[in-house]
């Protein structure tokens, strides 16, 4: 292969590669663009605009707002109740605990960290999500001892 032929070949290869990359970056149609979808608890949009939504999808990503537990009990009871509720929400839209990518845990009191972890351990499968845990200054709304929000995929 001569120098001229190699240059032509390389030039055409680079151009073809750039075209494929550009085509992959642009959706084939507007329908391929992810859209926001709110999932309402009772299946229909409320008459009055809510303060926030509890479950929203964007493409194949699922966002679940903070879930608390508002019944009597210690941190273990509260953590189990919150995780059970999150699992139910995930499964109701076709996801699962194993598909959670990110988890934020808000504790009413950091002294509950160890006991919360005892209940949390293993609930997200063998490969748990990334997690941030903090003690919320001023407590958790609704007198819950823990609140957890998650980002998952469907």
pLDDT in tens, 117-141: 999 999 999 999 999 999 999 999 9
Shared-domain flag, residues 41 and 13 = no
The whole-number pLDDT of residue 2 equals: 56
The whole-number pLDDT of residue 3 equals: 53
Residue 103 to residue 136: CA distance in whole angstroms: 15
Structural domain of 72: 34-153
Looking at residue 39, which CATH number applies to its domain?
3.30.1330.40
The whole-number pLDDT of residue 30 equals: 58
The whole-number pLDDT of residue 47 equals: 84
106, 150, 146: which is closest to 130 by C-alpha?
150
Domains contained in the chain, number:
2
Shared-domain flag, residues 23 and 70 = no
> What are 14-70's pLDDT values in tens digits?
444 444 444 444 555 556 789 989 888 777 788 888 888 899 999 999 999 999 999
> What are 67-91's pLDDT values in tens digits?
999 999 999 999 999 999 999 999 9
Shared-domain flag, residues 1 and 67 = no
Shared-domain flag, residues 6 and 59 = no
Shared-domain flag, residues 53 and 3 = no
Three-state DSSP class for residue 60: coil
C-beta of residue 62 within 8 angstroms of C-beta of residue 154: yes
Three-state DSSP class for residue 48: coil
Shared-domain flag, residues 19 and 63 = no
Shared-domain flag, residues 25 and 78 = no
Torsion angle defined by CA atoms of residues 124, 129, 135 and 138, in that order, rounded to the nearest 10 degrees: -90
């Amino acid at each position: 292969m001569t120098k001229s032929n190699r240059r032509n070949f390389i030039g055409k290869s680079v151009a073809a590669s750039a075209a494929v990359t550009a085509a992959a970056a642009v959706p084939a149609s507007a329908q391929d663009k992810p859209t926001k979808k709110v999932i309402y608890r009772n299946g229909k949009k409320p008459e009055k605009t809510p303060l926030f939504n509890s479950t929203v999808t964007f493409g194949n990503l699922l966002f679940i707002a903070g879930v608390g537990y508002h019944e009597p009990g210690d941190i273990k009871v509260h953590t189990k109740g919150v995780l059970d509720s999150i699992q139910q929400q995930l499964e109701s839209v076709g996801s699962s605990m194993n598909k959670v990518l990110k988890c934020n845990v808000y504790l009413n009191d950091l002294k509950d960290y160890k006991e919360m972890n005892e209940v949390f351990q293993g609930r997200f499968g063998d490969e748990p999500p990334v997690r941030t845990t903090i003690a919320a200054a001023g407590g958790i709304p609704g007198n819950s001892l823990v609140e957890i929000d998650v980002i998952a995929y469907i």
